[in-house]
Amino acid sequence: MKSKFKRILYGGDYNPNQWPEEIWAEDMRIFRDAHINSATINVFSWAKIQPSENVYDFSCLDKMIDMLSRENYDIVLATSTAALPAWMVKKYPEVMSTDYEGRQHHFGQRHNACPNSLVYQKYAKALTAKLVERYGDNPHITYWHINNEYGAECYCDNCKKAFHVWLKDKYKTIHAVNTAWNMEFWGHTIYDWDEIVVPNALGEGIGKEKTAFSGISIDYRRFISDSLLSNYKMERDVIRAKQPHALITTNLMGTFKGLDYFKWAKEMDIVSWDNYPAYDTPWSQVAMTHDLMRGLKNEPFMLMEQTPSQQNWQKYNSLKRPGQMRAQSYQTLAHGADTIQFFQLRRSVGGCEKFHGAIIAHAGTENTRVFRETAQLGSELESFGNKTLGSANPSRVGIIFDWDNYWALEYTSGPSEDLKYVEQIHNYYKFFYNKNISVDMIPVDADFSQYNLIAAPVLYMVKDNMAEELESFVANGGTLITSFMSGIVDQSDNVHLGGYPGPLRSMAGVWVEEIDALAPEQKNHARFTDGTTASCGLLCDLMHLEGAEALAVYEDDFYQGMPVVTRNHFGKGNVYYVGSQLDETGLEKVLTQAVADAGVTPVIPEATQLEVTVRESETTRFYYVMNFTGEAQPLPDSLAGKTDLITGETAKCGDSLKPWDVLLLTEMIH
């Protein structure tokens, strides 16, 4: 694949406008020592570059761009539309969003605009136009960063009206709306479009998440995602008109629930995202999220932000340990990133992010641990040139991730509050991660035929055509794994009648008659045919075989002896159905068998505690080998003899990797 970059961008958010100019030259000197070659600027400067309604002032931004251009930076120019200027809110209060509780906000914070405010749209568009008109010819500006971390919600009257338009477009008739939302329930039938209100805490909301009419809430979520996306497209189109070859992006947030990122990615030239794991986020989950971001466009992505060490907004903002930032950066590259960018280059003096890590700390010098580690990584990445850029992550396993499903599963009332989509997906992903089996995170409309094995846990919402696509994947020899809470509803959260798992029933060869919900302290057990057992809980499907074989049955309760894990031969393939949340060893047992059925292999033959992830260019296979375990780990023998791109040395049998150690071993592809 041809890369969208000429070099690995190494840099990050930079706000020299918050500092006196004397400091800027010093910054440049220090960044040179860290091999910084890129800066993301102008992210939150709307009030500075447009001090009032009819006045624009680019003098400070001009100077910043001149300086960075002289230094030959790749500039990622942001459009600054993510935080409203105070004057705008004062004059047009309706530009501020209204929250779930129905409170219209005052000036403050960021990500605060109503996406359907015409005033906001007018000024955001005008600002973008001014920026591209002024800087569009600068060859150093080839990347555009629109807005920032889109995701604000709004429940104002403007949005309500826009929702009506969105609904008319989707459903055409009131009758179709009533049917989609099953409005006979509780006598909610509507007769006119303007009877429809927004589904917030004052309307259909139950608590923060659940709702009396999940169909309405899912549609509202789709509508807000689309509204923000049209804000994005509005700015993008302004830039594109003047600079057709620019790469335009906005920074996404991994498994963030609010936006349908698969839909968004279709409108983005490249995916970029911000990686902020907490001190206790499992490395497998970080890897999964990178894979998801790569999966959005099925191509390399930008790491737009990570902290060099500390954060400020988490519960416990621990330091990254010596070597950790480097190992994390290599993990990011391993899963498909072609850039490493930080938030931020210089630590701010005030405001809520003054404790957020940066390459230059408050001490103001390069004599810090964090700086030295950043400089080391910078020099390593620079030494790779363009060798790794654009390389692919070949995978025979796909895990389905779907935002509609995410919303439906978590908005619906019952059967268990503890059912969380990302957690369920991660339970499956973790197995493949621990075995060093490469995974693609895929949308429901992916081309399934490229995979040997597809995992679709908690595939609660099965939309039109999906069952047919999955059936033909299995009939042609694929292995499908699905689980409890699958096949239950259609795209409006109405049940597929006739017995669970609805449209998946014939390929799974099971009928789920009832679903038991277990409290955290309650457990059942699965007994496998070889006599081993595993504990299980959360939800327990009470199912009947309809052609499938039972791989395990329940040991306890009144459904003792009923199947809990099944496999069904369907056409040339197999469908596994996992009817309860198995403990890790239980799930491992099932997935090991499925992987064997599917003929999927890990990237190296040996079992190891190291993370080993492979990217491939046309000529070279890159093995990213990382130790996230906290103890030294032996190098697997099959990796000996390969050359480390970082040090130029050849890895030997008997080598070991200390905690946070990294190797980037290469092998020619013939």
The residues that touch ligand GLA, with contacts defined as CB under 6 A, are 148-149, 251, 274, 276, 305, 311, 313, 343, 353, 356
Nearer to ligand GLA, 13 or 516 (CB): 13
Residues 155-214 that bind Zn ion (CB under 5 A): 156, 158-159
Q: Has 235 been annotated as catalytic?
A: no
Contacted by 473, from ligand GLA, Zn ion, none: CB < 5 to 8 Å by type: none
- At its nearest, how many Å lie between Zn ion and the CB of residue 222? 16
CB-based closest residue to ligand GLA: 274
Nearer to ligand GLA, 274 or 516 (CB): 274
Nearer to Zn ion, 116 or 452 (CB): 116
Q: Where are the beta strands (DSSP E) in 478-523?
A: 479-483, 510-517
Site string for Zn ion, 68-107 (x = CB under 5 A): ----------------------------------------
- At its nearest, how many Å lie between Zn ion and the CB of residue 159? 3
- DSSP for 69-115, please give it: HHTT-EEEEE--TTS--HHHHHH-GGGB-B-TTSPBP-S-SSS-B-T
Contacted by 343, from ligand GLA, Zn ion, none: CB < 5 to 8 Å by type: ligand GLA
Q: Which of 305, 471, 555, 611 is catalytic?
A: 305
**Identity at 653, one-letter amino acid code:** C
Number of residues located near Zn ion, criterion CB under 5 A = 6
Contact 259, 237 (CB under 8 A): no
Residue 172, both tokens: 């055409």
653 is an annotated ligand-binding site residue: no
Q: Which of 149, 380, 471, 611 is catalytic?
A: 149
Virtual CA dihedral for 601, 606, 612, 615, nearest 10 degrees? -50
Q: Decide if residue 360 touches Zn ion (CB under 5 A).
A: no
Contacted by 471, from ligand GLA, Zn ion, none: CB < 5 to 8 Å by type: none
Residue 266, both tokens: 């279709």
- At its nearest, how many Å lie between Zn ion and the CB of residue 158? 5
Nearer to ligand GLA, 351 or 498 (CB): 351
Rg, the chain, Cα only: 26
Our CA angle for 344, 347, 349, nearest 5°, is 140
Q: Which stretch binds Zn ion (CB under 5 A): 101-109, 115-123, 277-285, 456-464?
A: 115-123
Residue 59, both tokens: 């003098």
Residue 23, both tokens: 């400091």
Residues contacting 446, CB < 8 A, separation 6+: 398, 400, 440
148 is an annotated ligand-binding site residue: yes
346 SS3 class = strand
Backbone angles phi, psi at 655, to 5 degrees: -65, 155
Nearer to Zn ion, 14 or 232 (CB): 232
Contact 595, 453 (CB under 8 A): yes
Nearer to ligand GLA, 19 or 193 (CB): 19
159 is an annotated ligand-binding site residue: yes
Q: Tokens 């190098």 appear where?
A: 635
Contacted by 158, from ligand GLA, Zn ion, none: CB < 5 to 8 Å by type: Zn ion
- At its nearest, how many Å lie between Zn ion and the CB of residue 86? 19
- At its nearest, how many Å lie between ligand GLA and the CB of residue 273? 9
- At its nearest, how many Å lie between ligand GLA and the CB of residue 287? 19
Give the C-alpha separation, 151 to 598, whole Å. 39
Q: Where are the beta strands (DSSP E) in 495-562?
A: 510-517, 524-528, 533-545, 549-554
- DSSP for 598-663, please give it: HT---SSSS--SSEEEEEE-SSEEEEEEE--SSS-EEPPGGGTTPEETTT-PBP-TT-EE-TT-EE
369 is an annotated ligand-binding site residue: no
Q: Has 149 been annotated as catalytic?
A: yes
Q: Decide if residue 127 touches Zn ion (CB under 5 A).
A: no
Interface pick for Zn ion out of 68, 154, 340, 548 (rule CB under 5 A): 154
Nearer to Zn ion, 235 or 471 (CB): 235
Give the C-alpha separation, 613 to 10, whole Å. 22
156 is an annotated ligand-binding site residue: yes
Site string for Zn ion, 579-618 (x = CB under 5 A): ----------------------------------------
Residues contacting 122, CB < 8 A, separation 6+: none
H/E run at residue 442: strand 439-442
Backbone angles phi, psi at 632, to 5 degrees: -65, 145
Backbone angles phi, psi at 458, to 5 degrees: 35, 50
Size of the chain in residues: 670
Nearer to ligand GLA, 121 or 251 (CB): 251
Q: Which stretch binds Zn ion (CB under 5 A): 114-122, 224-232, 420-428, 649-657?
A: 114-122
Question: How is residue 321 annotated by DSSP?
Answer: P
Virtual CA dihedral for 338, 332, 335, 667, nearest 10 degrees? 70
154 is an annotated ligand-binding site residue: yes
Contacted by 274, from Zn ion, ligand GLA, none: CB < 5 to 8 Å by type: ligand GLA
Residues facing residue 419 across a β-bridge: none
- Binding site for Zn(2+), residues? 114, 154, 156, 159
Active site residues: 149, 305
- Binding site, residues? 110, 114, 148, 154, 156, 159, 313
Binding site for Zn ion (CB under 5 A): 114, 116, 154, 156, 158-159
